[in-house]
Chain A
């Protein structure tokens, strides 16, 4: 195995990983704070992709068009998240897991069909913004600039999230809500607003990652159910509700998938599911999580 092949697989895995981190961090955050496992998170990601495509049709992707479209998609999905949390998720807190899983699955069905209704079943795609459409030579491999951008933006958001969670007033409230909702409520904090805010932020991240994935992957119906299983795997590996766990879980997932293709072609999907099962069996709370 040559060095440049290893490097290019590594970079490919890292790109996958950073996308998954953007998606799974929202899923993990909602689970960590509200104890709800949200199947519809993948649907938010899908809607982000479709909305970005839609916005690009309005403003041509020349210049800053793509970025405007991505921001528009993320904000729109965030707003949808606010509506969903205020009117539906409210009733899920503290319910047993069957209720939560089915409820959010119902949202998957509804949002999936809504997307089919609005945008049809054909494949759609968006071209990369002109600034990042080129590629560079690194260690004898050709790396698209766009992938490098994603590899940079992932850790940047991770760092931002870590800082916000651990060194700001809002982050302190969120951590308190995660530990003891009743106590925070009794101390006079508005837990309902914190929950809505967390949910909107998580939907925003999902919408943003959906928008950012459009130059790399085509937009198709069914991308919601495919991504949510991957996000589950990442969250399970890292530990549900653990922030850095989600980051490293994404990296492990991306690299196992990427090198798995090299070592056992055709069975790389198998290997990530086995990894998920093994982690659940050996350490159900994940590599970085704490036992519930």
Chain B
């Protein structure tokens, strides 16, 4: 077990499961890989309003939104290798744009939602232009500075952002049409919004997945693993980093827009820097080397949070301890641990089957 978070050569292709040369040409696709996991998870999540309590739906909505936020961060962290300590700025910009448009100007959700993504992407373009010029710690510091600038604006610009009062009571989108669908007649507005959020997040995740697996995404991993070599191959490293930054910012903005409606208001607290640390923890907890790591991390964190706050108010203490253990013992996160365990079983099984040992 390596204790390095990232060990240079030994990094997995972003969003993918590492395949050893032997596993790359399996005799037949293993059973686990033939099950359409994503579809199953989607179906299970979609039944929560019918099968679960109102509180379950509340938790599921939080998980779904956090999952999108964490995946957008991981586009920088895991895929491009940029450590942003201010990703919450774009989440916040999206939340405020959508909230203000819907509450103050009465703009419908159909327009406010994409506008939130565009607004956040635009801000990411401007701030990212400067950030990608810096390396390592300086990059992290500048992203932190930009996010604190957003926080200061949200906190003090009373006439637009409501200052420390925030933007309360953002209306729900019009979802009456859902009631006429079969079986949906008695869903509450919260349930209906959850289903809408689930579908929007699923589509967004599919798009991000597509981006990560595209040639563009492959260039991003090249830039992560060896920027010098990438530059030598004629790749404009900064342009690719900036593109990644903008896409990540845009999707964070979409997550923020959903979160503002979900929590019935947007407040300056959402943009404080410690939230950026929280989303990084989600990505690391799940495993930033895997596409499905951050969503798993988001689910684990939301679930742990509610399970632990039943017993003690000292959730940050528990979170800090988990984080320390994670960094020391399981740097690959939950998914990394599962994959390692699964490969161990596979190796043992193959050794038993191979003729030399028979």
Which residue numbers of A lie inside 8 Å of B, CB to CB?
37, 88, 91, 95-99, 101-103, 105-110, 112-114, 116-117, 225, 229, 232-233, 236, 240, 266-267, 269-270, 273-274, 276-277, 280-281, 284
Q: Collect the chain B residues with CB atoms within 8 Å of residue A116's CB.
A: 314
Q: Collect the chain A residues with CB atoms within 8 Å of residue B85's CB.
A: 101
Spot the interface stretch: B23-31, B234-242, B272-280: B272-280
Task: Evaluate contact between B156 and A105: CB separation under 8 angstroms.
Answer: no
Task: Evaluate contact between A102 and B327: CB separation under 8 angstroms.
Answer: yes
Q: How far is the CA of A140 from the CA of B137 in the complex (A)?
A: 46
Judge whether B83 is part of the interface by a CB distance below 8 angstroms.
yes
Task: Evaluate contact between B5 and A96: CB separation under 8 angstroms.
Answer: yes
Q: Knowing A95-B5, A113-B316, A225-B274, say if A102 contacts B141 (CB, 8 Å).
A: no
Task: Evaluate contact between B149 and A106: CB separation under 8 angstroms.
Answer: no
B134, B140, B320: which contacts A108 (Cβ < 8 A)?
B320
Q: How far is the CA of A8 from the CA of B31 in the complex (A)?
A: 75
Task: Evaluate contact between B142 and A281: CB separation under 8 angstroms.
Answer: yes
Q: How many residues of B contact A (CB 8 A)?
A: 40
Task: Evaluate contact between A274 and B149: CB separation under 8 angstroms.
Answer: yes
Task: Evaluate contact between B317 and A284: CB separation under 8 angstroms.
Answer: no
Q: Collect the chain A residues with CB atoms within 8 Å of residue B138's CB.
A: 280, 284
Q: Collect the chain A residues with CB atoms within 8 Å of residue B133's CB.
A: 281
Q: Collect the chain B residues with CB atoms within 8 Å of residue A273's CB.
A: 145, 148-149, 152
A289 → B minimal CB distance (Å) = 11
- Can you sample 10 A-B contacts with CB below 8 Å? A95-B5, A102-B277, A102-B327, A105-B277, A106-B321, A267-B156, A270-B156, A273-B148, A273-B149, A280-B142
Q: Collect the chain B residues with CB atoms within 8 Å of residue A270's CB.
A: 149, 152-153, 156
Q: Collect the chain A residues with CB atoms within 8 Å of residue B4's CB.
A: 95
B166 → A minimal CB distance (Å) = 16
Q: How far is the CA of A78 from the CA of B106 in the complex (A)?
A: 56
The SS class assigned to the A binding surface is helix
Q: Collect the chain B residues with CB atoms within 8 Å of residue A98's CB.
A: 5, 77, 83, 280
Closest to B314 in A: A113
| B305-358 interface (Cβ within 8 A of A) | 314, 316-317, 319-321, 323-324, 327-328
Task: Evaluate contact between A110 and B140: CB separation under 8 angstroms.
Answer: no
Task: Evaluate contact between B324 and A103: CB separation under 8 angstroms.
Answer: yes
Q: How far is the CA of A114 from the CA of B321 in the complex (A)?
A: 12
Q: Knowing A110-B321, A113-B314, A280-B142, say if A267 contacts B152 (CB, 8 Å).
A: yes
Q: How far is the CA of A197 from the CA of B83 in the complex (A)?
A: 30
Task: Evaluate contact between A107 and B320: CB separation under 8 angstroms.
Answer: yes
Q: How far is the CA of A109 from the CA of B316 in the complex (A)?
A: 5
Judge whether B88 is part of the interface by a CB distance below 8 angstroms.
no
| B37-55 interface (Cβ within 8 A of A) | none
Q: Knowing A102-B284, A281-B130, say if A114 contacts B317 (CB, 8 Å).
A: yes
Q: How far is the CA of A281 from the CA of B320 in the complex (A)?
A: 32
Q: How far is the CA of A113 from the CA of B316 in the complex (A)?
A: 6
The 3 closest A-B pairs by CB, nearest first: A109-B320, A113-B317, A110-B320
Q: Collect the chain B residues with CB atoms within 8 Å of residue A108's CB.
A: 320
Q: Collect the chain B residues with CB atoms within 8 Å of residue A102's CB.
A: 277, 280-281, 284, 323, 327
Q: How far is the CA of A107 from the CA of B319 in the complex (A)?
A: 10
Q: Collect the chain B residues with CB atoms within 8 Å of residue A269's CB.
A: 152, 155-156
Q: How far is the CA of A75 from the CA of B139 in the complex (A)?
A: 35
Judge whether B252 is part of the interface by a CB distance below 8 angstroms.
no
